[in-house]
Amino acid sequence: LLILDEPTNHLDTEAVGRIMGRLLSEAQDLSLLTITHDKAVVALAQQVFRLEGGRLTPVALQEMA
């Protein structure tokens, strides 16, 4: 399990693409938990949850579009 808390904070779009592409291609045998506000990073997720009022709520991927 690799936990990433705002891994793309303060990066430009190109750098975000490079970093996330590398992580996703090389972490095939890992689970990634990414905490982020970056919609570009969220768009790469297989599952999305929103933390509200101390509770995790599943979010449909189509809601993220």
Contacts of residue 13, Cβ cutoff 8 Å, sequence gap at least 6: 40
Q: What is the pLDDT of residues 10-48, one digit of tens each?
A: 999 999 999 999 988 887 888 899 999 998 899 989 899
pTM of the full predicted structure? Answer: 0.77
Task: With CA atoms as reference, report the closest residue to 20 among 6, 58, 29.
Answer: 6
The pair phi, psi for residue 56, each rounded to 5°, is -90, 130
Q: For residue 56, give the H/E element and its range.
A: strand 55-59
